[in-house]
Amino acid sequence: MPVPPREGRGPMRNRVTPMGDIVAVELRGAWCGNRGVLHEGFDVVRFHRSQLWITCALRFKDWRLAQWEPSHFTLLFFHDEAVSFAAGHRPCALCRRADYNAYRAAWVAGLGVAQPSAKEMDQQLHSERIVRGTHRRRLHPTPWRDIPEGAFVALDDQPALVLDDAVVPWTTEGYGTARSRPRTGSADLITPPASVAALRAGYEPQLDPSATAHR
């Protein structure tokens, strides 16, 4: 069934923040994603439908990704891959098979476990990203020295990307001005620890060029 015209103008509510919230902002996305059917009409009415949260390529073969169609998954967008990881998503095994395999191999190396199935990874990520039975975000206090490049932390009540030598605040308008990265103490980690382990083991997420412009 065709989607009826959308009245009014302005951004649609389909962008995802590092905290996992779905917002209506102008910020362009380098990736799209899926948490199931979250919408009714043009309104997002639920936070997720399952434990499967994936990050997908904007284009794959000649497929057309439907948006706002009834009974079709709600198409979401991420500023960059580091944001998608922070939100709690992982690479799609279909349209991003090479990235999925690299992520799973880094998961195994970082956590020191047997190779997991996609379902097992989804279950662990789900337990790490939100408090069970709620939509409340889980944060994980972690020493600064143990946080790898590409992870997000909560800094002054704002998500911030951790780099080797800097911390870069993120807003719904994009990355801000870099600050020096603390070398002592702890931070509240936003990115789920399993994905952080994969980052620490060598998986390199795509970063928007504005995040590293200070280098």
Q: Which among 189, 173, 187 is positioned nearest to 137, based on CA atoms?
A: 189
Residue 7 lies in a domain: no
Q: Which residues contact 201 (CB under 8 A, 6 or more apart)?
A: 106, 107, 109, 110
The single-letter code of the amino acid at 196 is V
pLDDT per residue as tens digits for the range 171-201: 999 999 999 999 999 999 999 999 999 999 9
| 164 Cα distance to chain centroid | 20
Residue 1 lies in a domain: no
Q: How far is CA 199 from each of CA 41, 46, 117, 139, 141, rounded to the nearest angstrom?
A: 37, 30, 19, 17, 17
Residue 1: predicted pLDDT? 46
The structure's pTM equals 0.92
Total structural domains in the chain?
1
Residue 5 lies in a domain: no
pLDDT per residue as tens digits for the range 96-134: 999 999 999 999 999 999 999 999 999 999 999 998 877
Q: How far is CA 16 from each of CA 28, 76, 88, rounded to the nearest angstrom?
A: 11, 7, 10
Domain limits for position 129: 13-212
Residue 176 lies in a domain: yes
Residue 6 lies in a domain: no
